[in-house]
Structure 1
């Protein structure tokens, strides 16, 4: 681990120059198809594209379909592309740490676009939004299925929204969904005071609408860069990474200290038995460990 951190420190001057783009959406919305088609278009335009998957559920299911190279067949064989499936057998925090470090490694290796794919359920999309410059939410036609189980918070995180599968029999429904989502956004507070998230209808299968989609992604970065929001966002993300690592390190060292093992087990039993509140138990444990708990 020490050697890995030393390597990352050496590479830091060569990082930070990519456009980091998060792509989220419920299973079956077409994320892998979008990334494959969009990635090929970006390579044809002269870019080098890295794809990183974030799927904490893979530690429970034993595997992840995110970042599956078989779903990105064309992109996977290109020298200008790199695809990394979600690391398995890791906690959400562990997946986040690995992904942040992978972004830096990809940037140092010369990839100027980093796509971070995550599933639009649970906490993973919030974590990814905290490590990318532009966050794209992929939606299905038929907005009336009332946000398709997508939490309102995810909509509010999005910088760009795209209704996928706008082809064939779905075309009219996709256009209707595009209008519905655009209307719904009027009632939500924008993430940025200088950017109103656009909604587009696209087809990842045919490629229709992907050029305008990418134009909006680039416009978002350019707009935020011009008013200082881009740099502020990057700095806030770096500080959050620092505090995430402090939280994770303290928690792990606290749990693994031999002198705390018995006290932790006793506190858990007392809390479960309702003999003491979790707040008081945590306070007593922190004092025992040599920390000064907050008042």
Structure 2
């Protein structure tokens, strides 16, 4: 693969080249990782940036419907939108099992939109391990807004805050005991809560749910990266395209305030540090998963099971070959 040529095509907004590049960065092969690093270094020199919006919500809340309606609204305004949808993985093949591209048929046909589903594989936190690199590729390809849809399984999906500038949490009305629907961990990272399906018979229930969460947000500790009134809860109907423009205006207002007051730049720097440490952690884990290391680890595991050695001492012995000491 000619990395320089691939880089040039991505910078010229070649969608096929972008898809190839994302496949490359998602590969675990050593030669592909070296090529991916070279490609990302080349593209980073151009310093293109987009507004990164993370999005999560409980299953059935209508994330795909919202993203399609929201994305179409943005493309109608002349913006280019990329959607990175992280799907649950097949236990057999490891591939995506939901297929967001087929569920966003109208948006997938829009020439100003790009949709890429990625399998979560064994990664926790609602995003795939290489999602951040995929975001960087979309930025280099000239997309103005990158939407990162997480798996949508619950409160563990806080890792998305390390990949996005703004975080949206979608909730459904009339879910029963609404304030128990999503726990505090994910509530604390939400910038805007959107109560979806605020239409038809559910509109009054959506209004009550929105009021409940507005009250709950006021009880949370004030965050330094928020202007007055944020985080906030709003009602939308992705099905009827209601409230989407208001939500977009609020997001733009929040983004502009954070850029003006230096929070945006600080957060991007903190995220870069986070992923540096994550890469180190994954590098150590990959060494432990090598065939040679697994042989030693299995022997030590048997000794732990028989009581010959403690688990703490065995872990220290396993890490000694990597010149890493346990704390």
Q: Give the superposition deviation at 1:292.
A: 4.2
Q: CA deviation at 1:283?
A: 1.4
- Evaluate the alpha carbon distance shift between residue 265 and residue 228 of structure 1 in structure 2; reply closer, same or farther with a 3 A threshold: same
What is the 5 A alignment of 1:80-95? 80-87=112-119, 90-92=121-123
1:70 to 1:182, Cα distance in 2 relative to 1, 3 A = same
Give how far 1:193 is off: 4.8
Conservation of the 8 A alpha-carbon contact between 1:21 and 1:132? yes
- SS, match of residue 23 in structure 1: strand
Shift of 1:113: 0.3
Q: How does 1:204-283 map to 2 (within 5 A)?
A: 204-256=238-290, 258=292, 260-283=293-316
Give per-residue Cα distances to partners, 1:70-121, cap 9 Å, x unaligned. 2111110011000001236x33179633211111111111101000001332
| Structure 2 equivalent of residue 19 of structure 1 | 51
Distance 2:156 2:114 in 1: 21
TM-score (normalizing by structure 2): 0.82
- Displacement after TM superposition at 1:28 (Å): 0.7
What CA distance in whole angstroms lies between the structure 2 residues aligned with 1:193 and 1:72?
33
Whether the aligned pair in 2 keeps the contact of 1:66 and 1:117 (CA below 8 Å) is no
Aligned match for 2:170, one of 138, 141, 144? 138
Matched, 1:3 2:35: yes
Residue among 173, 177, 189 paired with 1:157: 189
SS of the counterpart of 2:289?
helix
Q: Work out the number of aligned pairs and report it.
A: 291
Stretch deviating more after TM superposition (197-206 or 275-284): 275-284
Task: Please provide the CA RMSD for this pair.
Answer: 2.3
2:130 alignment partner, SS class? helix
Q: Distance in 2 between matches of 1:61 and 1:201?
A: 39
Which has the bigger relative contact order, CA under 8 A and spacing at least 6? Answer: 1
What's the secondary structure of 2:129's corresponding residue?
Answer: helix
Report the secondary structure of 2:119's partner residue.
coil
Q: What's the offset of the Cα at 1:198?
A: 0.9
Secondary structure of the residue aligned to 2:214 is helix
